Each structure stands twice: as C-alpha cells, then as structure tokens.
Amino acid sequence: MTASNASAQRSGVRSKTLRMAAVQEMAGLLRLLFETEREFIRTATVLIPRVGDVELKYLLCQHVWESAGHARLLRERGSEMSGFGKGDSVRSDIAKLFEEAIRPEDEMECLAGFYRVIKPAILDAYRHYLEATHHLADWPSRHLVQEFVADEERHLEEVRPYLSEANAYPLLRYLSCVLDSMGGLLGERPAVDLSEDFRWAQDSQKYSHPLTCNRGDYPICSSVFGHNPEEDPIVREWLEDPDTDARVIRLMIYVWLMMELDAVDYLATVFYDTREAPFDLHYDLARHLWDESRHSAFGFRQLPRLGVDLNTLEHSLDLYNILIHMSPPERYAMMTMEFESGSFPTKAKIMDRVRELNDFEADTLLAFDRNDEQNHVRYGHRWLPEILKLFGETRPVEEFVAATRERFGELEGLYGGKVPHSLPPEERLTGKRICSLAGLTK
C-alpha cells in the first residue's frame, strides 16, 4: 500500500467516525447509564440483609429488579447503536463511587447515601440524556428513558419515609464530592478535583457481609420448623398429615412463605460476591430476589387477615447464619439445588389441601409461588456452572452440590440453633395457637 493510499484510508475512517459522531455520543451516554444501573444492582443489594424494616427490604428488592430491567433495555438499545461497546464490564470510576457508598457501618447512613446522593444523580443523568438527544432521531432511546425517569422519581418517593430528616451524614457530603470529581455520572458538568486530604475508604476497608441479618424490632429464633406444637409454629408432621385441618395447613404455609425472607437476605449477598459475572446472571438473580420478596410478602400480608399478630411470629435466622459462612457458589447451590428443588413434593400436598377451602386468593398465591420456584431451579441449572467457573471450581456440578450438602450439615452444627427465642411459648405463635386461630384443637 502506498503512503498516499494509507493516508486516504485513514482519512476515510475519520470521515466515517465523524458521520456517526451523533450516534456514538448518545451510545456512549447509554453505556454509562447501563454501567451505573448494573453497579447499583450489585451494591444496593448488600443493604437488604443490613436493614431491619421488612417493608424496606421488599422495596429494595423491587427497586433492584426494576433497575435490572433498566439495564437490560439500555443494553438492548445500545447494541443497536454504533459505539456502545461490547461486554458487561463497569469502568473503575463508577465502581469506586458505589463501593464507597456501602462502607459505613450504619445501614441507614448507607441507605441515605444511595437515595439522597446516588439515586438523584441517576435521575439527573436520565434527564440530561433527554435534553442532549434528538427527540425524533433517537425516539427509541427517549421512550425508554422517559419511563426510567418516572421509575427513579417513584423510587425516591417510596424510600423517603424511611430516611431520617438529618442531613449531617458524612457519607452524603463524601459521595457528593466523588460525583463532583466525575462531573456527574455522565460528565454532564465540569469536574471538580478531590481535595488533597480525600481518602478512599475502600483502599483501607474491605467490605464484609454481616454475620447475621437484621430483622428490626421483630422477635427472632433459630427456626420456625419443628415437631412440638407447644413450641413451634410449623409442625413438620402436621404439614403432610391428612388429618390436619386445611385451615391449619393454610396458616402454616403462610408462615413458611413469610419466612422466605431468609432467602431474600442470603440471596442478596451473592450479587456483590460475583462482580465479574455476566450481566444476564445478575439479571436473573434480581428476578429471583424480587420473587422471593413477593413470596415473603404473601405471608406478611395474609397472616394478619387470618388473625395473626405479626409481633408474635418469631423470624428464623438459621439459614442466613449458616450460609453466610459458605462461599457464594455454595450459597447459591444450596438455595436452588437443595432448598427450592426439595420443597416441591411437600408444597404440592399443601396446595391440594388448601384447595379444600375454596380460597381463591390462597390458591393463586401458592400457584405463583410454585411457578416462580420452578423458574428458580432452572436458574440454578443455568448459572451455577458459571458461578463455579468464576471461583475456579473444577468439580462437576453434581459432585459440588453433594459436597456442599455435606458441608452445610457440618456448618449447621457450628452455627445453627444458636439464636434463642425472643418470646416465651405463651406469647409467640405456635402450632397450638395456630389451631386456636383456626377455631380448632389438635
């Protein structure tokens, strides 16, 4: 190739780049928005086991799922545009912002950091995109972003009641300085240098999940399953006993569903621990998390309607307390390949019994629970091999799952059954009291 031909080729490349500059600029902004939403999903989830309010846990799960939807649609739209880029990685300056947000020990300070600094910045970024792009040429992107703006505005309003009125959290000023140094999430304003005495907390402080999950003011115990109706709310033998009244079965399954809150808390830890996972894995994890929060809400909403005072129902902590000592692949394997897949036979019998009551709402909730759990087991078959690769695990899946079951049994002996009852038997919900609420004796 002659020098003149090479020069002409380079000139042609530059001309092509210039011709697509408007598209590439918008694609670059969409990429930043995708990476921001992806990092929100990975880090905001660590708040879930840390906050105590049950409704707030549910809300965070919903926001994570909706943010996963934003990220997926941003990626799909971006892939249609020149300059969006390939892969799912997140650039370091975005990741560092979110890493700082989770470092404070106080979980409500972290919540404020996300919802008084980061979430408003995400909202500002979406609004900036609408101002920067062309209303007709980029209509597909604008249509999506307009919906995301409405979601972000709603997210801020939904969390507002949980935030303290105090504005003195050091984290808020700290995160604002980081955002200023970036010029906003999209670089939409002039950047301001960090002060010379600025120190990154993540440089000296490794993040670790709490060794037990927070349940606020609710009473707690090791497990709600047992064999003694004078002590335990879910009496294992009663669940499959054909002589157990269906009204008792219904109350016990609602207790079981509400206690899927433990799945919410320990599943939430897997996102942060799988930073290099493909986005599609985190997308399915987000759906799984939201499903579990809805299942828990089935019980949380229905039990009071059937006469249960939720302040008498102790929350079981054993599963979280055991699984947090296991690796992320082990946690995920136990959840999908053991707990969920193993629950189908018993739940099938429960569904048949509850149908005797002609309770359409109960039938509906249990049917959707089963449908979701079947999907979760499919997720496990799809993604457990990928998680094993992330952690350098070379054993076949079946061998790994079998070994994980054994390890769970060992850790159960070390960390299970350590949480004493908050309430004496006469004050807490037990099998005997469930019979009384159902108008029966057992």
Q: What are the tens digits of pLDDT across the range 239-297?
A: 989 999 999 999 999 999 999 999 999 999 999 999 999 999 999 999 999 999 999 99
pLDDT of 15 > 60? The answer is: no
Handedness of CA 192, 101, 274, 295 (dihedral sign): negative
User: What band does 165 get if pLDDT is binned at 50, 70 and 90?
Assistant: low
Buried b vs exposed e over 90-117: b needs ≥16 C-beta within 10 Å? beeebbbbbbbbbbbeebbbbbbbbbbb
Token pair 């609408």 is found at: 130
CA dist., res. 290 & res. 292, Å (int): 5
> 167: which DSSP letter?
-
The stretch 2-25 carries a mean pLDDT of: 57
Q: With a cut of 80, say whether residue 9 has pLDDT above it.
A: no
Six-digit token pair at 243?
Answer: 């002589």
Whether the per-residue pLDDT at 130 is higher than 60: the answer is yes
234-235 and 315-316: which strand pairing?
unpaired
**Cα distance between residue 59 and residue 404, in whole Å:** 31
**How many Cβ atoms are within 10 Å of 124's Cβ, its own excluded?**
17
Query: Residue 127 to residues 65, 71, 144, 153, 260: CA-CA distances in angstroms?
Result: 21, 16, 12, 11, 37
Cβ neighbours, 10 Å, residue 82: 14
Cβ contact 47:114 at 8 Å: yes
Q: What is the pLDDT of residues 289-318, one digit of tens each?
A: 999 999 999 999 999 999 999 999 999 999
Split at pLDDT 50, 70, 90, the class of 20 is confident
Q: Which two tokens stand for residue 197?
A: 């005495």
SS3 of 220, please?
strand
13 band by pLDDT with thresholds 50, 70 and 90: very low
Q: pTM of the predicted model, to two decimals?
A: 0.93
* Tens digits of residue pLDDT in 35-77: 999 999 999 999 999 999 999 999 999 999 999 999 999 999 9
Q: How far apart are CA 307 and CA 3, in angstroms?
A: 86
Q: Which residue in 352, 345, 380 sits closest to 366, CA to CA?
A: 352
Alpha helix positions (H), 217-336: 236-240, 246-258, 261-272, 279-305, 318-323, 328-333
pLDDT score at 10:
37
3 state DSSP class of 345: helix
pLDDT at 3 over 50: no
Give Cα separations from 416 to 48, 224, 296, 316 (angstroms). 21, 13, 22, 11
